[in-house]
Structure formats: structure tokens, C-alpha cells
Structure 1
């Protein structure tokens, strides 16, 4: 699915680097649009004071690490494998400081310009990797457990559905489709065409489009491993 889309994008002249910038833009835009929500969460429910919030934040961080690993591998290839923990840490450090500025200092930024700046910085870092040795162990963040991540994504999407401004009938349709996806994914021989059709249908809900684009990426890897 995503491999086919990526191939088409390359033909149309959209480079992997441009895709990288678009993904960074989406992530930063999400923080910008939801800054008030995150501000309240971090201010009124400090993670260290709530075990439930701590678990949610740990789960969120693990998901973001996996997403960033995927993005970096897609952009720079597996030549960065020995350095992947270092590169992920650097990218997350950069994003963390900008997100702090956006959320807590309430600074408005041009998301596209910022994403481009981060991409240029990562290009320079990756370019210089061969001149140095890795510092962090390649397995620091653990193996990428696709089944676990698929479960996480489905849980996140189910939570989002409850907040969508749509009818109960539409919510039931989406939930039924999600259950079909869940049941099919974990079969011994999942029907790829059925999963593709369900995801194409669900991506019509604009607020869930990015979630299902990520789901496509995970499914491509999951099916490819079988």
C-alpha cells in the first residue's frame, strides 16, 4: 500500500526528503493546533503526580519513538542503523525544545519553515555520521514490535472516534470497520485487499486520515514480515 504510494510520489517528483518535511510539518502542526489541550494536561495533571497519566505518557513516548525511527529509516535508509538510537535521540531533542516553545511559551511559528530547518539539520548530522562512532546502543529503544504498535494505534483511533463531531451511526460504522481490521490483521493469512479497502474507506474521515496513513505503513511492514 504505502510502498506503492511512495513509488508514485517519487515518479511525480516528490523526494524522500520532501516526504520527511511533510511528516514533520504534520507533527508540528498537531502540536500547534492542540497547544491549549496539552498545556492543560501538563499543567493540571503532572505525570509524576498521576500513575495513569504517567502510563499514558510512556505509551505516547514509545509510539513517537517508533514513528520517528520509521521516518528516519524511510528518509535516510538503513545505512543509519548503527546510529539509529543516536539519530532518534537528536531528532526528539530538537522537536522537544521547539514543542516546549510552541506549547508553553505560546510562540507561533511557521510550521513549514521549522520542518525544513529541522530536515536540513538532520541532513547535516546524518551526512557526518561516517566520521564518528555511534554513542548509544542500536537496541536502546528495543525492537520495533509491529503487533504491539498496531494494537496501540487501534486503541488511539478508538479513543479519537469518541471525540469526533459525527453521528452515532457514523461512529458505529467506523468502530465496526476497526473491529474488522483488528480481526483480519491477526489472522494467520490476513486478506490484504480487505485491509486496504477498509483503510481507504476510513481515511475519508479527515480527522483520522493521518492515523490511517500510519496504519498503512505498519501494515505494509507487518504483512511483509509474514
Structure 2
């Protein structure tokens, strides 16, 4: 673990114990066994630490999602169950981070933190969309936004209850319980009209914005070139699905793999 990661872990624990506003840079420095001046060599402000905490926490989560997704011994349903269980386990271990994520706390810290949280929520929602299509197949595509919203709502409310009611909660049962409820919901929707539907142009715009974000984060020159070519292909009036799929398969094997589910969801692949 790097020095910056150690500071992040210390800050997470202090924020959990005392709250963000009550924790000082001096306390973070002391618990990190650093002089206050040395701490500023790593982070210029408490706000910068919070940004790094969110980014670090969700980078770790999406990297674990990607490892599960690449396990060919698992079915799509088994992958989704493991990934959802992992998300719930991460909540149980880092309630203070998710608490800031779930409420309006992020906006109270700063607009930058709020913007990052909104982007993370978008990535999680895209992952729900793609996972639901992987599990239930093409029959769910017309209803996938409705199902993703219902899943997100159910999960959020259960976690909200676990967080604020201060009662014992069976976290290990939540993922299979939610997926069993989804089975019933998906079956019941086959004879109904979806409330929401994909806006192809809006989804294309979202995919292009995500590619720009990936280009900014990519450190490998070849990955940047692949992303630029993918962007060019998507901008065509009639993107060639086989070529887009080839680019996505390549990215799935790279350190950009955590973005691929969101891209697939936006491109309806």
C-alpha cells in the first residue's frame, strides 16, 4: 500500500468516527504518523482527501467487478450475484463512504465531490443495466431501465435502513433476496408496457462522454489511440457493431476494464 493509500485509509476511519467536518488535517497527519506540513505534500486540503477516498473506494470496487466478470467458470447470474454481494459487503465495511454517497452530504462537502459522486452513481447504474441484460437476455431489454431503477431503489432503501436504524441486518442474505425479487418482476413485465425506454441519441452522447473520461484517465498511449478510434466509430451514422465489439473486447483486457460495462450499457451491446 502506498503512502497516499495509507493516508486515505486513516482519513476514512477518522471521518467514520468523528464525521467529515469535525476531523482536522492535523488529526489526519497525527494518525498517519506525519508532520502536518508533510501531509500537504500528498493532499492540499481535506476536500482533496475526500475526492481521493471516493475515487479510491470505487476504483477498487469496479476492479473487483471486472475480475468477477472475466471468470469464465461462472454463469451471468452467478457473476451478478457475486458482484452485488461484493457491493453490499463494501457498504458494510465502509458505511461512512456510502452514507456520503447516498444523501446530500457530498454536495455539502464541495461541488467537485458532488460531481464525482454523480458520476459514480451513473457508472453503477450502467453496470446494473448491463448485468440485467446479461442475466435475463434480450427479453428484458425493453424493460431494462425500469428494472435497473427498481433494483437501485430496493438496494438503496435496504442499505438506508441498515445505516440509520442501527439494527442488526442480514447483509449476506440481501443480494440473493433482491435477485429472486427481480426474477418475479421480470416475469411480470412481459405483458406490460415499459415506463422508460432508451433514447438512442442520448445514450450515444453518454457513451462518447464516457470515452472522453477514459482518455483523460488512460496512461498508455496505445489505449488512448484505441479509445480515439472507438470514438470515431461510434460517431458514424451507422457504427459497425463488430468493430465496436472488437474494441470493447480489447479494453476488457486492459486497465480500463471497469468502464466496459457502462459502455456496453450505453451502446446497447
* In 1: Cα distance, 2:229 partner to 2:201 partner: 28
Instruction: Specify the alignment match of 1:214 in structure 2.
Output: 258
Instruction: Show structure 1 runs of 5+ residues with no match.
Output: 159-174, 203-211
Q: 2:223 aligns with which of 171, 178, 181?
A: 181
Deviation at 1:180, TM superposition (A): 4.6
Count residues in correspondence: 188
Q: Does 1:82 align with 2:82?
A: no
Instruction: Show structure 2 runs of 5+ residues with no match.
Output: 1-65, 231-242
* In 1: Cα distance, 2:84 partner to 2:201 partner: 21
Instruction: Specify the alignment match of 1:63 in structure 2.
Output: 123
Q: What is the TM-score with the length of structure 2 in the denominator? A: 0.54
Q: What is the TM-score with the length of structure 1 in the denominator? A: 0.62
What CA deviation, in whole Å up to 9, does each residue of 1:90-117 have, x standing for no partner?
Answer: 1111111122134334556444421100
Q: Does 1:99 align with 2:128?
A: no
* In 2: Cα distance, 1:83 partner to 1:74 partner: 13
Deviation at 1:24, TM superposition (A): 0.8
* In 2: Cα distance, 1:184 partner to 1:149 partner: 14
Change in CA separation of 1:150 and 1:103 when aligned onto 2, cut-off 3 Å: farther
Change in CA separation of 1:50 and 1:15 when aligned onto 2, cut-off 3 Å: same
- RMSD (CA atoms): 4.2
* In 2: Cα distance, 1:116 partner to 1:180 partner: 40
